Amino acid sequence: MSSQTLPLNQPLRQLSDTLRRVVLTELLFPITLLILGIYHGLLQVLYRAGFIRASSFLGLEYYQGLTLHGTINAVVLTTFFAVAFGNVVVSYFLGKKLSDVAARFSLTLMLGGTLAAAWAMLAGKATVLYTFYPPLKAHPAFYLGVASLIVGSWIAFFSWIPAYRSWRTENPGKKTPLAVVGIFSTFIVWFIATLPAAYEVLVLLLPWSLGWTPTVNVVLARTLFWFFGHPLVYFWLLPAYTMYYAMLPKLAGGRLYSDFAGRFAFMMFVVLSAPIGFHHQYSDPGIRTAWKALHGVLTFGVAIPSMLTAFTLAASMENGARERGGKGLFAWWGKLPYFSANDWLFSYLFCGLILFIFGGITGIVNASYQMNLVVHNTSWMPAHFHMTVAGPVFLALIGMTLMLVSQLTGKPLGSPGLRLSVPYLWMIGILIMSSGLFLGGVRGEPRRTNLGLTYTNHESPLFRHEWISSTTMAAVGGTVMTIAMLFYFIVFFRMIFSKRTVEKPELYFPTSEPIHDEKVPVLENFRPFLVGAVVMVILAYVPPLVDIARGKVPGSVPFQPDSPIPVQTSANR
């Protein structure tokens, strides 16, 4: 991996031509796919409210669309963005050139994998939702595609490590830029998380779906999935945290309240992201309550860095507002650049933070052991994660994508009005939609269900009148969200199709300086926290996995979603 050294602490403002094209593809491709993801988001709220009472609409089935919605929005978009953002952040803040070969190879694997999985989903051969729980079986191309996407993202991560190492040797005693710490934490969490996922997909599911092995242990597969599934949410979240710590204070017009808080939070996520997956399986059989309780306690632990972040960011924004002339105990809130054409990215990050207040609090409800039984798998859950992954994560992601594409292509960002309306409309839309889903959730409304065919169809004997108001509210919110995204796509594609105005496009990140620049040597090194993460994973997962392996769970033969007859494969015939 080549790493040409530049003058120290000089950000790298121009990527190599290859890396620039790779990053642009990594940003453009998923945003284009997102059109489909958003389209079926809207359709879902319409189905659920009973406005569409059918199993499919315009050739796309409800559950097929739901699979696309989850996979595109939560897995493909987030992974591509994290890799693109990482490529840019690592080269910019370390002032290092990255390997073009690795970048191209990683993009090829990710693109190929996504296309294979997208084909399987669109052809109706992988209607298994993004959790792909066996014994529902998808086409092997779906599993291979997911695996290829994951491995592709690893390749990118591996190519950043030599750049980081050489920066460290060249800058002894200097703190690693906070944004780089954020990105490396993101990908350490991701690497740990994707090992069990790779095992589940490649060792358990792929041979089973090809008919080479007759059965699969479903309890084990579910456990491995959530071993991956919860750190996955921190993989979504940490790029947004990186922007919050490294850029938001600057956008607000001030400085980061505490540099220590940022580094400490990132390291806490490295240690505590993975050993908490059982809080998704509180209702599962075959797992001892002691393991569930242990993971519950640790989940409470991982809430602490988020609460610390909330305080640090509020304090940093107050600093920015006072710099802008804000006074009083609360009046300073009025001075923040909510509608600034220059610091427009602030509005995207800020609206996400507002949503995250509710996302975080409901997350603690979900983690709360027995209390989870009230809301497990009800529409409360999508309400919660639309205030996290579709809140701060998504808004930071689409805002940063807009900024990066404009900077990398040298094309101007037009439409300031539309651009600034997107985060606010989106936030209002989510607040309405999630309120509906929360309300329905505590009334037992199930998630992942085509309610319009039965429960919200007054002609059906299964009609449930108490779910009408909540699903209608969700439909209103979902419509507002779709309008916000319509505006976003207009802004985005208008920029893409406009003329380049800057001949030599340059990168620029608004970068925060700290107020309190604490020097904490132990936080300067990932090694102790990596060891901590491995120890926690071993403590939290090895005993229950041994338990499950010893439990002799009878294996399951594969099923297709459209039939209760098991699929005949060469192995189980």
Shortest distance (Å) from residue 260 CB to other proteins: 5
A 10 A CB-CB count for 159 gives 22
Chain positions 448 to 477 lying near other proteins, rule: CB under 8 A, are 448-451, 453-455, 458-464
Chain positions 124 to 153 lying near other proteins, rule: CB under 8 A, are 129, 133, 135-136
Two tokens, residue 326 = 């804000």
Q: How many residues in the chain? A: 573
Shortest distance (Å) from residue 230 CB to other proteins: 17
Nearer to other proteins, 258 or 406 (CB): 258
CA distances from 368 to 104, 273, 300, 364, 383 (A): 44, 17, 8, 6, 17
DSSP string, 187-255: HHHHHHHHHHHHIIIIIIIHHHHTTSSS-B-HHHHHHHHHHHHHHHHHHHHHHHHHHHHHTHHHHHTS-
Distance CA 411, CA 567 (A): 52
Shortest distance (Å) from residue 499 CB to other proteins: 47
* Beta pairing partners, 566: 559
Which residue among the candidates 40, 48, 139, 230 is catalytic per the annotation? 230
Please give the angle made by the CA atoms of 455, 458 and 463, to the nearest 5 degrees. 30
* Beta pairing partners, 446: 378
Q: Which of residues 44, 73, 114, 258 is near other proteins by CB under 8 A?
A: 258
Does 527 qualify as catalytic in the annotation?
Answer: no
Nearer to other proteins, 3 or 556 (CB): 556
Task: Point out which span in 93-101, 202-210, 394-402, 547-555 binds other proteins (CB under 8 A).
Answer: 547-555
* Beta pairing partners, 5: 96
Nearer to other proteins, 545 or 553 (CB): 553
Residue 70: strand, helix, or coil: helix
535 makes contact with other proteins (CB under 8 A): no
Chain positions 287 to 326 lying near other proteins, rule: CB under 8 A, are 287-289, 292, 296-297, 300, 303-304, 307-308, 311-312, 315
Task: Point out which span in 94-102, 142-150, 218-226, 384-392 binds other proteins (CB under 8 A).
Answer: 218-226
Q: Could you tell me how many residues of this chain bind other proteins (CB under 8 A)?
A: 82
Distance CA 228, CA 275 (A): 10
| Contact residues for 118 (Cβ-Cβ < 8 A; gap 6+) | 33, 68, 72, 145
Shortest distance (Å) from residue 114 CB to other proteins: 22
Does 324 qualify as catalytic in the annotation?
Answer: no
Q: Which of residues 331, 334, 518, 534 is near other proteins by CB under 8 A?
A: 518
Chain positions 408 to 437 lying near other proteins, rule: CB under 8 A, are none
Nearer to other proteins, 295 or 335 (CB): 295
Does 263 qualify as catalytic in the annotation?
Answer: no
List the one residue out of 556, 480, 507, 369 whose CA is nearest residue 87: 507
Shortest distance (Å) from residue 563 CB to other proteins: 5
Residue 6: strand, helix, or coil: coil
Nearer to other proteins, 101 or 442 (CB): 442
Give residue 178's identity as a one-letter amino acid code. L
Does 230 qualify as catalytic in the annotation?
Answer: yes
Residue 96 falls in which region: left (phi positive, over 0), alpha (psi -120 to 50) or beta: beta
What count of Cα atoms within 13 Å lies in the side-chain half-sphere of residue 316?
A: 30
Chain positions 369 to 398 lying near other proteins, rule: CB under 8 A, are 369-374, 376-378
Does 384 qualify as catalytic in the annotation?
Answer: yes
513 makes contact with other proteins (CB under 8 A): no
- Letters for 37-76 (x = contact with other proteins by CB under 8 A, - = none) are ------------------x-------x--x----------
| Contact residues for 538 (Cβ-Cβ < 8 A; gap 6+) | none
Which residue among the candidates 53, 104, 322, 448 is catalytic per the annotation? 448
Which residue among the candidates 92, 227, 385, 487 is catalytic per the annotation? 385
Nearer to other proteins, 520 or 531 (CB): 520
- The answer to whether 87 and 98 are in contact (CB under 8 A) is yes
DSSP string, 114-130: HHHHHHHHHTTS--STT
Shortest distance (Å) from residue 447 CB to other proteins: 6
Shortest distance (Å) from residue 461 CB to other proteins: 4
Task: Point out which span in 74-82, 140-148, 204-212, 259-267 binds other proteins (CB under 8 A).
Answer: 259-267
* Beta pairing partners, 136: 559
Catalytic residues: 230, 234, 384-386, 447-448
